[in-house]
Structure 1
Amino acid sequence: MRLTSFTDYGLRMLMRMASAPDSAFSTVDLADEFGLSRNHLAKIMQRLAKAELIVTRRGGGGGASLARPASEIRLGSVVRLLEEGQPLVECLNVDGGACPLDGRCRLKARLRSAESAFLADLDRATLADIALEPMPA
């Protein structure tokens, strides 16, 4: 399975925030740390904030931080959120895609099962389980 870069960076941001839960992280600092455009990072932050996984504050001393303890954030939920609208393969799209094999293909059921198992495994872990070690002072 392959995750989109949107999800990859979203998970990295959350891991970074979990490593310093009392800190607020600016978009500029995170973008620099991950070598990512501020615009792309802002889109990820918006999705995480809308889902109430992070809170953002503007102005001096502002930035983004976790909205709740990392131990309460399930990885499967994060991946489902960030991968929303990105089916594993075309035939798993909501509209069924445009596959000419539809109705005869037995791969679709296997892929759906594999995707479910993948997410179920991630559901067993929390952000706290994968948080980065705190940065040395």
Structure 2
Amino acid sequence: MNLSKFTDYALRTSLYLAAQEDRLVSISEIAAAHRVPQSSVMKVVNLLVDGGFLASTRGRAGGVRLAKPATDLRVGDIARYMEGDTPLVDCTSCVIQGACGLVRGLYEAKDAFYASLNRFTLAEAVRAHPRTVDILLGRAAVGAAKGAERAES
């Protein structure tokens, strides 16, 4: 299953905020940290706030943070929210629409995919690799981390 670019940005944003220990973070900081367009991060943040995953504070000293502890936010819930309830395939032009035996299996596969992602909280995901937090907090050079990964392989 492919996740949209917005879901990718939502997960990156959420991981970044999980590493920030409940500090307010600006959208421009998130965009710079992940090298993604600020306008895209703004859209993603607005959706995540609407979904109850993030909390925002407006104004000069404002920013965003996780709405709940990272231990209470599941990766699959974020992905499912961002992807919406769209089917895996577009059945509208299919000649066996309404009589297809694959529809139930496709829905079950999609549910299994999100259930698998839900085995992980944001806290677990951000701490799954020893360098993740340091990279997200800017304490380690991303290029150095990539070089070290290649050396380990």
Residue in 1 that maps onto 2:133? 133
Structure 1 residue 6 displacement after superposition = 0.7
Considering Cα pairs closer than 8 Å and 6+ residues apart, tell me whether 1 or 2 has the greater RCO. Answer: 1
Residue in 2 that maps onto 1:100? 95
Residue in 1 that maps onto 2:34? 34
3-state SS in 1 of match to 2:64: strand
Alignment of 1:41-120 (within 5 A): 41-91=41-91, 97-120=92-115
3-state SS in 2 of match to 1:36: coil
Q: Indicate if the aligned counterparts of 1:28 and 1:38 stay in contact, CA closer than 8 A.
A: yes
Unaligned runs of 5+ residues in structure 1 are: 92-96
Structure 1 residue 12 displacement after superposition = 0.6
Task: Supply the distance in 2 between the matched residues of 1:120 and 1:60 (Cα, whole angstroms).
Answer: 39
Give the AA of the match of 1:5.
K
Q: Indicate if the aligned counterparts of 2:17 and 2:65 stay in contact, CA closer than 8 A.
A: yes
Structure exhibiting the larger radius of gyration computed from Cα positions: 2
Task: Supply the distance in 1 between the matched residues of 2:79 and 2:103 (Cα, whole angstroms).
Answer: 20
Structure 1 residue 108 displacement after superposition = 2.2
Task: Supply the distance in 1 between the matched residues of 2:48 and 2:98 (Cα, whole angstroms).
Answer: 37
Task: Supply the distance in 1 between the matched residues of 2:89 and 2:64 (Cα, whole angstroms).
Answer: 33
3-state SS in 2 of match to 1:102: coil
Structure 1 residue 85 displacement after superposition = 4.4
Task: Supply the distance in 1 between the matched residues of 2:80 and 2:68 (Cα, whole angstroms).
Answer: 18
Q: Indicate if the aligned counterparts of 1:21 and 1:66 stay in contact, CA closer than 8 A.
A: no
TM-score normalised according to structure 1 size: 0.84
TM-score normalised according to structure 2 size: 0.76
Alignment of 1:16-27 (within 5 A): 16-27=16-27
3-state SS in 1 of match to 2:133: coil
Give the AA of the match of 1:119.
Y
Q: Percent identity?
A: 34
Structure 1 residue 53 displacement after superposition = 1.1
